[in-house]
Amino acid sequence: MTSTHPSSANWQHTSLQGGLPLIWQRRPGPAIVACRLWIRGGSSQDLPGQRGAGQLLAGLMTRGCGSYGPEALADLVEGRGAALRAEAAEDFLVISLKCASSDTSELLPLLLSMARQPWLSPDQLELERDLNLQSLQRQREDPFQLAHDQLRHMLYGDGPYGHDPLGVDGELAALQTEQIGALVPDLGQNGALLVACGDLDDELPQLLNPLLNQCPWTTAPPSPGAGPGAASGQERFACLEQDTEQLVLMLGTATVPLGDPDGLALRLLQAHLGMGMSSRLFVTMREERGLAYDVGVHMPARRGATPFIWHLSTSAERAEEATTALLDEWQRVLDQPLSLPELALAKAKYRGQDAMGRQTCGQIADRQALVLGHGLGWSYVEDSLERAQQLDAGTLLAAARRRLSAPSLSICGPAPALTAAELAWQRHDLSS
């Protein structure tokens, strides 16, 4: 039975054979359709000794499924000017399709076939594994990535969030077809959903149910519940020497899941500190003091302990000054409430970011899949926008003191800069 959810009037939803939720929205405009098959799991579900398996499976899904081998699948998709990809993030594996609406009936069933009947041939696995190993090798040449990976391990240890979705070299290199194939039957056991947006009609269930009758898939909507947590006894400082002319600093901590009440306050702080050329860190660290080549704030959406990270790159000669200044700015967040103009600007940026994030069919499908995939309510986005306008500076300060009081510092750069930055850290109150 197809219905329209009362709190999200533009969305229709039904359950396909086996329980897979199908959610879609008609959107006037170009004859384009964007679809997301969102499956809870991702790299946080990688087994010990098999880190990288989730992303490897995602890559193999685009290398043949059902009755289509690698070349036939590529010809079918590219011959219609469509885009089809699959990737594993920390909390989910997502298969994405963008195509002309006239090709929906032929291409949309591919998403289910990729999840249920992926080709896992040894030669294609070797190709995909080599590409992922090359990506990891490139990351080891990037000081920004090295500092980030070091901080991730400080915050999460060897836990589910402790590695890049691409995996770990030795474990990824050893993965074989049998290990990847063993993951397929469990896909969707923790929940899945299919979201579509664009020039659509009501025939979607009739389009997809025949395939599910032939290849049954028992699943259900993802349920609420906290995801992986942070490591116990987190390290507070780590450095990695690399012969470069700049120092990269990553200052951050593990915080709260998407949907936690403190999370909204932290996102307003993120907007204040790191969004745009008017942001606090850009103005103070780059414009006024010339200490940063690049500076910003990273806070992804996670089911579990979400990282809240500041990143800064500076010249090796100014390592001590830049480190002290960055730590002072973090301390300021813990000590001083935002002024009324700062709070108003942060709220305006938060609203603007939301508006810019739902301009295309793909963006709309991404956001709805993310919200429902995390087990949050249909009206979560609208409710968050409304609640954000009610938050005051005192609420943001209290959330910062609860969640940001003990950050960890990861640095990467030449030896003299590391020494200077470590001295600045040891002298600062935040280090204790």
The 3-state secondary structure of the chain reads CCEECCCCCCEEEEECCCCCEEEEEECCCCCEEEEEEEEECHHHHCCCCCCCHHHHHHHHHCCCECCECHHHHHHHHHCCCCEEEEEECCCEEEEEEEEEHHHHHHHCHHHHHHHHCECCCHHHHHHHHHHHHHHHHHHCCCHHHHHHHHHHHHHHCCCCCCCCCCCCHHHHHHCCHHHHHCCHHHCCCCCEEEEEEECCCCCHHHHHHHHHHHCCCCCCCCCCCCCCCCCCCCCCEEEEECCCCEEEEEEEEECCCCCCHHHHHHHHHHHHHHCCCCCHHHHHHHHHCCCCCEEEEECCCCCCCCEEEEEEEEEHHHHHHHHHHHHHHHHHHHHCCCCHHHHHHHHHHHHHHHHHCCCCHHHHHHHHHHHHHCCCCCCHHHHHHHHHHHCCHHHHHHHHHHHCCCCEEEEEECHHHHHHHHHHHHHCHHHC
Q: In whole angstroms, give the CA distance from residue 215 to residue 209.
A: 10
Residue 151 neighbours by CB distance under 10 Å: 26
C-alpha distance from residue 397 to each of 330, 384, 391, 400 (Å): 12, 18, 11, 5
386-405: per-residue pLDDT in tens?
Answer: 999 999 999 999 999 999 99
Q: What is the pLDDT of residue 7?
A: 47
Q: What is the pLDDT of residue 8?
A: 53
For the chain, residues with pLDDT lower than 50 are 6-7
Q: What are phi and psi of 106, to 5 degrees?
A: -90, -35
Q: In whole angstroms, give the CA distance from residue 397 to residue 404.
A: 10
- Contact between 10 and 165 under an 8 Å Cβ cutoff? The reply is no
Q: What is the pLDDT of residue 2?
A: 58
Does this model's pTM top 0.75? yes
Tell me the residue length of the chain: 432
CA 150, chain centre distance (Å): 18
Q: What is the pLDDT of residue 3?
A: 57
Q: What are phi and psi of 199, to 5 degrees?
A: -80, 85
Q: What is the pLDDT of residue 233?
A: 78
Extract the tokens encoding 357.
Answer: 């994030």
Q: What is the pLDDT of residue 226?
A: 84
C-alpha distance from residue 289 to each of 95, 285, 292 (Å): 44, 5, 8
104-123: per-residue pLDDT in tens?
Answer: 999 999 999 999 999 999 99
Q: What is the pLDDT of residue 225?
A: 84
Q: What is the pLDDT of residue 289?
A: 95
Q: What is the pLDDT of residue 370?
A: 94
| Residue located via tokens 């204790």 | 432
Q: In whole angstroms, give the CA distance from residue 296 to residue 384.
A: 23
Which domains are seen in the chain, by residue range?
3-214 (3.30.830.10), 237-431 (3.30.830.10)
